[in-house]
Homo-oligomer: A and B are copies of this chain.
Amino acid sequence: MKHNFGAGPCILPKEVFQEASQAVIDFNNTGLSILEISHRSKEFEAVLDEATKLVRELLNVPQGYSILFLQGGASLQFAMVALNLLPENGKAAYLDTGVWASKAIKEAKKIGNVEVVASSSDKNYTYIPKQYTVPADAAYFHYTSNNTIYGTEVFDVPASSAPIVVDMSSDILSREINVSDFDLIYAGAQKNMGPAGATLVIVKDEILGKTGRVIPSILDYTAHISADSMYNTPPVFSIFVSLLNLRWLKAKGGVAVIEQENIIKARTLYDEIDRNPFFKGTAAVEDRSRMNVTFVMDSAELEAEFLALAKERELIGIKGHRSVGGFRASIYNALSITSINAMVDAMKEFEELKK
């Protein structure tokens, strides 16, 4: 059995793969593939409707927020957020916690004025800055809730009098959130929601339409809201697989249940990292991500040896990002505790071998 610790696109539940595979041959006993049905068919409308309702239910999304399934990933959101929320002479505040936050900043700067309120670039993004103030006149405040490369996560919603926009691409649906703390949440699907190719947006309707900008329709949240995510042909299969995954999550007991599992999974792995003299976590302890666990060893030789052992044990996708080095174990919702235990066993085995 392969243990897929890949950073994303990543593991999804086996049941989801099986149902998705079946639907590619015969979707819902229609005699047609999910790949050949019209997005305007009542069958697909039911898929989109159920997926939207499940997001609303699982995240307890209040009235006054729209739920959209779009394309283009977080990278398209970097532009859409600024186009839709940043007035010509306004200013947006951004927190810089890594490569993805920096890209969001770079893209927003192409569209308007940006103030970076704090950055952890001084320590290679190994921590989450906490001492900063969001300017009261900011049109919005943007941050990235989980930083896959560095293994840091923002657990407490930052204080901000400005509307809060958050990139939750890599931790959405992994823990309970209070949606009303936020004004806009976006997430590429390809971690905890589904396969690559779909993007979830949850937006408070009342913050839209205030910038006076002329926005191309495809980049205008209001156009997608008016059309119930059918402004243009949606990514049918990616949304369908997301639905299967949302159903799986609901059947498990929902976000509160998966959060407990994720806490146990992360703790199990971090405990071993802290106990085992061969491994060392790279992120500040209080900011350690529950989704991406980053750790290093004392030398490149040791790391190569452990990587070889991990490969033998079918622990895959654990090589760290080049900017951090070492290892990154991504432990998203669908990764079971069995896989965590397999990793811990390999770490212990390595320690024994080296004694």
Contacts and interface: CB of A to CB of B under 8 A. Distances in A.
Interface of A: 2, 4, 6-12, 17-18, 20-22, 24-25, 31-33, 35-39, 71-76, 78-79, 103, 106-107, 110-111, 188, 190, 195-198, 214-219, 231-238, 241, 317
B237 A73 contact: no
Contact of A232 (B75, B231, B234): B75
Contact of A35 (B20, B25, B188): B20
Contacts of A24: 17, 20-21, 24
Contacts of A12: 33, 35-36
Nearest to A103: B217
Contacts of A20: 24, 35
A217 B205 CA distance: 26
A232 B36 CA distance: 26
Given A35-B9, A36-B4, A235 B196 contact: yes
A35 B235 contact: no
A234 B190 CA distance: 10
Given A4-B36, A12-B36, A197-B235, 10 more contacts: A6-B38, A11-B36, A12-B33, A12-B35, A71-B76, A72-B76, A73-B233, A74-B232, A79-B217, A195-B236
A38 B21 contact: no
A197 B72 contact: no
Contact of A72 (B110, B218, B238): B218
Q: Which 6 A-B pairs have the closest CB atoms?
A: A197-B235, A79-B216, A75-B232, A21-B24, A71-B71, A35-B195
Contacts of A234: 196
Nearest to A316: B32
6 contacts: A7-B38, A71-B72, A75-B231, A78-B216, A196-B237, A238-B238
Contacts of A35: 9, 12, 17, 20, 195, 241
B218 A78 contact: yes
Contact of A216 (B110, B217, B231): B110
Given A25-B21, A110-B216, A111-B216, A32 B9 contact: no
B233 A8 contact: yes
B9 A37 contact: yes
Contact of A236 (B2, B196, B317): B196
A37 B71 CA distance: 19
Contacts of A198: 197
A75 B218 contact: yes
A14 to B, nearest CB: 9
A10 B24 CA distance: 13
A234 B18 CA distance: 23
A107 to B, nearest CB: 5
Given A110-B214, A110-B216, A236 B75 contact: no
A8 B309 CA distance: 48
Contacts of A74: 232
B38 A232 contact: no
A38 B9 contact: yes
Contacts of A196: 39, 233-237
A219 B316 CA distance: 34
A217 B76 CA distance: 9
Contacts of A214: 110
